[in-house]
Amino acid sequence: MAERSGTLHLVPTWLGDAGGMEQLPAGNLDAIRRIDLWFCENERSARRALRRMDSDLDLTRLELHRFDKDSTRADALALLRGVVDGRDAAIISEAGMPGIADPGALLVAAAHESGIPVVPLIGPVSLMLTLAASGLNGQGFTFHGYLPVKSEERKRAIKRIESDAMRSGTAQLIIETPYRNDVLLNDLCMACAPSTLLCIGIDLTQPGGWARTMSMRQWKSERPPLGKRPAVFIIGSPQR
């Protein structure tokens, strides 16, 4: 590890438009005020989030670099040169924790490759909040990320995931682009057995947010419109 290496901080953000610093630890604010080198998916939304964290923050002194889904390992290594030389930096996500279903994971991997210490700060993670609220297996679980876009491929993937859940008893976590939430719920109800359990966590930490676990039979008969809101879906079996 380089003697003068800086540190890469992972700065989480809110899961929606509601909430202020009462949802984030005070220690986060110390790092936010000190660090002037930032990596983000979108400069405009990153500046808005930082201003939301500290209304007195001088945004003009900040150096923001875009790192998104199209960025490469070579991009990551190039951006981290200043950190290798002793400068502290931070990644800020569009929502939740950087590196979790987030392109920042490649930047974090490059930091480890470069011998840069990585420090995750505390904040909301929708996957863990939903799992904790689900009553499903919190000791054994798998995160699948996004399923295929095409309906038939998605249903086949759902059946494989359901089979794993029934065989192993583990919880199976899925996310979807919000505008496809209702389509995914429909495919889950069609592809899974009526007794299979499904938890949906939607808009957690936000007004009107909720988490609910029911059988597929119940979801099919009581199906609420999910709309275009951030959601996590967990397929599971009853606790053994």
**Whole-number Å distance between alpha carbons of 170 and 155:** 19
pLDDT higher than threshold 50 for residue 98: yes
**Whole-number Å distance between alpha carbons of 69 and 142:** 22
Q: Which CATH architecture has domain 8-120?
A: 3-Layer(aba) Sandwich (3.40)
What is the CATH code of the structural domain delimited by 126-236? 3.30.950.10
- Which pLDDT value is given to residue 240? 62
Sign, Cα dihedral of 73, 4, 42, 210: positive
Residue % of the chain over a pLDDT of 70: 98
- Which pLDDT value is given to residue 2? 44
80: amino acid identity, one letter: L
- What is the average per-residue pLDDT within 201-223? 95
Q: What are 120-139's pLDDT values in tens digits?
A: 999 999 999 999 999 999 99
pLDDT higher than threshold 80 for residue 220: yes
**Whole-number Å distance between alpha carbons of 118 and 134:** 30
- What is the average per-residue pLDDT within 88-117? 95
- What is the average per-residue pLDDT within 97-119? 96
Q: Between the CA atoms of 205, 210, 215 and 220, what dihedral angle is there, to the nearest 10 degrees?
A: -130
**Whole-number Å distance between alpha carbons of 22 and 123:** 11
- Could you give the residue range(s) of every CATH 3.30.950.10 domain in the chain? 126-236
Whole-model pTM: value is: 0.91
- Which pLDDT value is given to residue 19? 87
Question: Cα 139 to the chain's mean position, in Å?
Answer: 19
pLDDT higher than threshold 60 for residue 233: yes
- Could you give the residue range(s) of every CATH 3.40.1010.10 domain in the chain? 8-120
**Whole-number Å distance between alpha carbons of 130 and 124:** 11
The mean predicted confidence, pLDDT, of the chain is 94
